[in-house]
Structure 1
Amino acid sequence: MIGMRQPTPPEQEPVWHYNGYALEGAQFLNAMVHFYRGEMERANVWRTRLDTTTNWAVVTTATMLSFVFSDVAHPHFLLLLSMVLVLLFLIIEARRYRYYELWSYRLRLMEMEFFAAMLVPPFRPDPRWATSLASSLQTPHFTITFWEAFGRRFRRQYQYILLILWLVWLLKLYLHPYPAPTWALFVERATLGIPGAWVLAGTSLLLWLLFTLGWWTSDAQRASGEILQRAHVPSPREMLHYLVDITSRQRALHVLRLDDRLVYVITTHGDEIADAILRELPRGVTRIEGRGMYTGQRRDVLLVAVSPRQVEKLKRLVYARDPHAFVIVQDVSEVVGLGFRKPSRAMT
């Protein structure tokens, strides 16, 4: 009607609030997309620099190997020089990896709290994520230590390069100018102004220290630019503690080996399934007569101890003969008997 005021449509509430500042959805989305693209470009630049350093190490190794073995007179210490150069490349790459990890950290924040949140409406990013991202922008800081970066790059590429150089250096000592007939001559060929035994011991110690460092930092999981396992995997330190602690010896065995399985099969086809298990696995079967408390019907309960690899085959045997059977798989710490661990003398 004439003279009546039309109701004012409610204002659209901004989707993003931070420290009293509000952005409309389109503005916020546009800003985040451009910011993400910029950070992705930065991460790609440093990813390329990582690959470049690795390429330097590979080319240096291949060139030196070809040169040293192209002539008997070419000195073996060039391979040791190559090891020093490769180690220098590793140090440079560890430093570059820390920068790459900084940009990857920001990308992962946006992917987890922004893009992933958009796929699960309503869209409400966690304000703590904004604080973390803003802190990284205002005061950039490395998210991992140098030694974690060093150990990670060593395990990924450089352990193989350095190990190959060291083994080929030993081969060069043995073969040229002719195969060394004695250990004393082999050690003498390693002399470089200092006794050959010292050179051999020094290079061996260096490799041992590098592998120890790589192994000791393998439980560091703060790198966001890597695909890491979510399930808990015992770290080298945890496994070492298990092995050293005598009272935890059984626990260490539990970590280091695959346990056996105890399978309960509840079925109305007990004889048929038991016969199939005895013939096709083959494993022993124990049958217990049971009764379903809901239906009141008689059931056979079959107990079978199997290895982890036999579980799926056992399930196929059961459901091929009784699609309505119940199968319960339970971890067991130890199975003693025929087909498994033999009883110890103390048991007998």
Structure 2
Amino acid sequence: MNKSNNLISSRQTVFLILTSILATVDVFLPAEVARYAGRDAWMSAILATFIGYFIYRVIVALCLLFPDYSLAGFNRLLLGKYLGGVLTVFYIIAMLTVSTGVTVQFAVIMGTAFKPESSPYIWHLMVLIPALYVTSLGIHVPARMNELLLPFGLIVLLGVMVLNIPEMDFKEYLPMFYHGYLPPVKGALVIGAKLAYSVMILALIPFIEKKKKLPRQGLPAFICVGLALLAGTTAIALMGPKLTAMTLFPALEMVRHIDIGFLTRLDVIMMAVWHTGFFIFLCVSIYFAASLTRELFNLRGYKLILWIYGLVIFIGANIYITSVPLIRFLLVIPLAVLLYTVGLVIPLFLYLIARFRGYSKKKAT
């Protein structure tokens, strides 16, 4: 595909990152944060927003030093052909691992909360095949779709919170710092890892128009993320910190709690929002892996790689252990370590190397 036909705007890029974050942070994480921070989960949400924005700025700063290169390209410039190639392969494997986990997560949600008798194969295919087809048309296609889908998801999130306000008891947030300052920090570190999906910009940067707008457009996006995280923590005001920590899907329980006249049993709306979010996430993450593979091995196209990776994810998802407690564990500490590594530690290391070697925005331009 001609690169000029596959360009996306900086706003579309930020929207893709925003959807990728919200799609994965809204399911198990409210319960996990309540488990760590208890009634102080709202503080964890605020701290995590600063962590996520810092990660975003590090990644954008690195990418703007090499605006015409993806990760596979500037890895070679900074680390050499072989070491840079190894690091690129590591990122590809990491993103395929995350994509497999997200596919499993989607099947567990749908199979547990909506259709317990259904086979996980169905849910894997239901989210993978559309994502693979749409992404094979170019990253600009899911980017344009997401421009329409993201506002709908945000409106649903806001509506769920507002409709539950009459039943909320905000005294559940008191007393603050009941167990000290450490629990909110732990909760923030757990959430902040999920905000590291800004790492996807490392593969998208060559296809972004007006890249210099990315730093400015990231701030309102992460303010939006922060507000969405705060909205998620209102489950504590509705159910209390202990019950929230024990609930599998707090957001779904908030939806099911709505019973106002004709507004009741709105589960299907939450199902649609989750399906859409996971769909967009897989579009971006699989494109990330396929695009870097194409550039790493200097291939002509990425569509065949895309479908091969889709098959790898499908096979991995179906041999994955689908125990809900185990998945909840893997989505907290192990995933947090991986995301902080690929989203913050390595990009910051590469940025420091680049500046030490004299690269700057002016020189890159």
> Which bin holds the TM-score, normalised by the shorter protein?
under 0.3
Task: Please report the TM-score for the alignment, with normalisation by the length of structure 1.
Answer: 0.22
Structure with the higher helix share, 1 or 2: 2
Relative to total residues, which structure has the larger strand share, 1 or 2? Answer: 1
Please tell me whether Structure 1 or Structure 2 has the larger radius of gyration of its CA atoms: 1
